[in-house]
Every structure is written in structure tokens, then in C-alpha cells.
Structure 1
Amino acid sequence: MGQQGDKAREILMDAAEELFATHGIDAVSNRKIAERAGTANHSAIAYHFGNRDELIRSLINRHLGQLEGRKAELIAGLGDTATLSDVIACRVLPWVEQLESMPHPSWRARFLYQIRTIPSVAAVFISSFEINDDFDILLENVRGTLEGIPEAVLRARADVLGHMALGICAEYETQIHEGSEEGSWLSVGYFLIDAGAGMLSAPVTHPGDFMALIPTPTLI
């Protein structure tokens, strides 16, 4: 498409991410995105992305290569004595490091949180992350510390952890935008690691029959 086309795509994605994060997915039209991007061509989304779902997919995958590279680096560093916290850190730290590296204001966490909570685009989100979901493989490294916890419970807790992490990061990103934040992205990350380790390893006190209704988890 060339440099000019690539730049136009980036400007449109910047505008879409901000508007989606601020107003929600379904409340933002393609026309509003084009206007926020400073173009009079209200068909710009169709021209550069084909359709709205492809725009959303492009936004979801926008920084995925960097995220996966950092995650692979951390996984490669896991030793034979890796703890559950070490395993969770392989998923959490690349995410918070990426958020910390973004220019201010950033909209990434709030955009992804909107995606997770809007049924009309949830399928796009899930399909974009399915091929990258190796959390089950990572858990095999520490399966001994999770003895007695049924697989269905682990998967349901992992889904809760994903929702919790996105929600907390979205809130912290808002606080940064408003200038009211305390601590750092790294402190947010280690809070999530500790909370996740506690959640996944907590004893099971009652059958979780309702978990059949919980979808396959897609963590950050």
C-alpha cells in the first residue's frame, strides 16, 4: 500500500482506539472514526480495512508481535524451579511493560476492556487470541503445585483472572490520563501476579457446576 497508505491506516487506528476506549464499541460509527482521524472520506474504513471487523482485528493484533516476543523471552528463562508466580509473570509482565512504553495518553487497556465486554465483537477478540493461548502449556510446569484442583476450575479461574487483569489495567490507564495514579505499571503487574497465583492455587471448597457456562479463557 505504500508509506502514505500505512500512515493513513495508523491514523485511523489511533482514532478508532481512542473513540472505542472512550465511548464503547457500538457507540462509535465508522464516520466518527474518519472524522476523528481528520479525513473527509467517510468510506476510509472500508477502503483501508475492508470492513469494521477487520479494523477491530487490526487494532487487537496491533502490538501482538512485540507482546509475543517478550513473552517468549520470559518463557525461555523459566528454569526447573519455576513457581506459579513465575509462570503468571510470563503473561502479565509483557502486557504491563507494553502499556508503560506507550505514549500518553494511551487507550490500549481501555479499548481491550471494551472489547471483552461487548458481545457484538467478542468473537473477533477470541479468534485473534486463540492461536496464541499457551497458558495450559505453561501451567504444566507447575502442575504439582495445583494438585487437587480440577481442570475445569483452573480454566474458569484463568478466565476470571483475564477479566480482572484487563479491568484493573483499564482503570489504572484512566487514572494516568486523569493524573491521579499512584505507583507504576510494574507495581500493577506484580499485584496481578500475586493475585493470580493466589486465585489459581486456592483450595476448592465446593463443586463448581456452573462452570460449564464459562467460555474458554483468553488471558492477556
Structure 2
Amino acid sequence: MGQHGDKAREALLDAAEELFARHGIDAVSNRRIAEHAGTANHSAVAYHFGGRDELVRTLITRHAEDTNRRRAALAAGLDDDAALPDVLACLILPWVEHLGSLPVPSWRARFVHQIRTTPSMQEVLANASVPNALTEELNRRVQAAGGSMDPSTQYGRSWILGNMVLSVCSEYEARVQDGVESTNWTGVGYFLIDACAGMLAAPATHPGNFIRSPSPVSLL
């Protein structure tokens, strides 16, 4: 595809990410995306991506290379006996710092929050997720840090933490856009690392048997 086609694809991706973040996935039509991207071709999504699902899949994986690069660089300095906060940093900081590298306003965190919470997109999300050996190893080390904690309790806490990180980043992204907060994504990242480490290390007073399968601290 030529340079003009590449620019048209990027404009559609930018438009879709913003509209999905602001209004929700199911509330935005392909025609509205095309119009917001500045094209009169209302079939532009189908032309450039083959359809809506492929557009969404492309958006999901759009920034994975940058996040994976940051994660690999951080994990390269991790000792075998690294403490829980250091392991969590390898999972959380690359995502948060990537958000901080985006121009303001950015829509990434809010888009990911929408895609993770829209029932109609769960199959698309599952099909777009590519296994990553480093992320899997980091999650294994986080789980191992739980020691003798009941697995279901650990799964439940990881489930809460994944949602917490995403929700905090989504709201902070909006607050930066509105001028309520100055941009300090690194500070947000370390705050989340401490909060996650505290929850994972806290004693359990009752078996947490409401979740029975692993729910890693995973971000897009």
C-alpha cells in the first residue's frame, strides 16, 4: 500500500480509537469513523481493513511493539530473586510509560477500557491477543510471590488488579485531557505498583473461592 493509503489507514485508526474511547464500541458506526477521519468514502473501513472486526483487532495490537520493547528492556535487568514490586514494575511501567509517550489528548487507555468491558468484543479481543512468553513468565513470577496463598484468592486479587490498573489509567488520561492533572505517568505507574504489591502481599482472612482460574495482570 502506498504512502497515501498508509496515511488513510492511520487516520481511520486515530478516528476509531477516539470515537470508541468517547462513546463506546457499539455506539460508533463505520460511517461515523470514516467521516471523523475526514474521508467522504463511507466504505473506507471495509476498503482498508476488510471489516469492522479487523479494524478493532488492528487497534488492539497497534502499540504492542512499543510496549513489548519497553518491557523487554526493563525485564533484562531483573534479578532471579527480584522482589514483587520489581516484577510488577516490568508488567505495569511499560504500559503506563507508553501512555505517557502519546500526544495529549490520548485515547488509548479509555479505548482499551471500552474494549475490555464490551461484551460484543470479547471474541475479537481473545482472537487478537498474541501469547507473549515474557509476559507469561512475569505473571508466573507474580503468582509465585504469593507463596502459600490459596490459588483462588490469588486469582481473584490479580483479576481486581488488572481492572484497577486499567480503570485508574483511563480516568487519569481523561483528567490530563481536561487539565485537572498535570502529566506524571511515571508517578501513576509507581503508585499502581505499590498498590498492587500491597494487595497481593496482604494476608487473607477467608478463602477467596469466587474465581477458579488464573487472571493475570495483563494489559494491551
TM more than 0.5: yes
Over 3 Å counting, the alpha-carbon distance change for 1:123 and 1:35 in structure 2 is same
Counterpart for residue 168 of structure 2: 168
**Which deviates further from its counterpart, 19-28 or 198-207?**
198-207
Counterpart for residue 115 of structure 2: 115
Alignment of 1:144-155 (within 5 A): 145-155=145-155
Count of residues in Structure 1 that have an aligned counterpart in Structure 2: 219
Of all paired residues, the percent bearing the same amino acid is 56
- Distance in 1 of aligned mates of 2:80 and 2:217: 26
1:202 alignment partner AA: A
- Distance in 1 of aligned mates of 2:191 and 2:88: 11
Pairwise CA RMSD: 1.9
Q: CA deviation at 1:16?
A: 0.3
- For the 8 Å contact 2:30–2:45, the answer to whether it is kept is yes
Alignment of 1:63-212 (within 5 A): 63-132=63-132, 134-141=134-141, 145-182=145-182, 184-212=184-212
- Distance in 1 of aligned mates of 2:109 and 2:51: 23
Secondary structure in structure 2 of the residue aligned to 1:192 = helix
Counting helix residues as a fraction of each chain, which structure ranks higher? 1
Over 3 Å counting, the alpha-carbon distance change for 1:215 and 1:49 in structure 2 is farther
1:85 alignment partner AA: P
2:218 alignment partner AA: L
- For the 8 Å contact 1:116–1:122, the answer to whether it is kept is yes
Alignment of 1:14-33 (within 5 A): 14-33=14-33
Q: Which runs of 5+ in 1 are unaligned?
A: none
2:191 alignment partner AA: F
1:100 alignment partner AA: G
**Which deviates further from its counterpart, 177-186 or 61-70?**
177-186
**Which deviates further from its counterpart, 23-32 or 182-191?**
182-191
- For the 8 Å contact 1:153–1:208, the answer to whether it is kept is yes
TM-score, scaled relative to structure 1: 0.92
- For the 8 Å contact 2:45–2:55, the answer to whether it is kept is yes
TM-score, scaled relative to structure 2: 0.92
Over 3 Å counting, the alpha-carbon distance change for 1:127 and 1:159 in structure 2 is farther
Q: CA deviation at 1:138?
A: 2.0
- Distance in 2 of aligned mates of 1:204 and 1:101: 38
Over 3 Å counting, the alpha-carbon distance change for 1:127 and 1:87 in structure 2 is farther
Over 3 Å counting, the alpha-carbon distance change for 1:140 and 1:35 in structure 2 is closer
1:30 alignment partner AA: N
- Distance in 2 of aligned mates of 1:160 and 1:49: 34
Q: Which runs of 5+ in 2 are unaligned?
A: none
- Distance in 1 of aligned mates of 2:217 and 2:9: 27
Counterpart for residue 46 of structure 2: 46
- For the 8 Å contact 1:156–1:217, the answer to whether it is kept is no
Counterpart for residue 34 of structure 1: 34
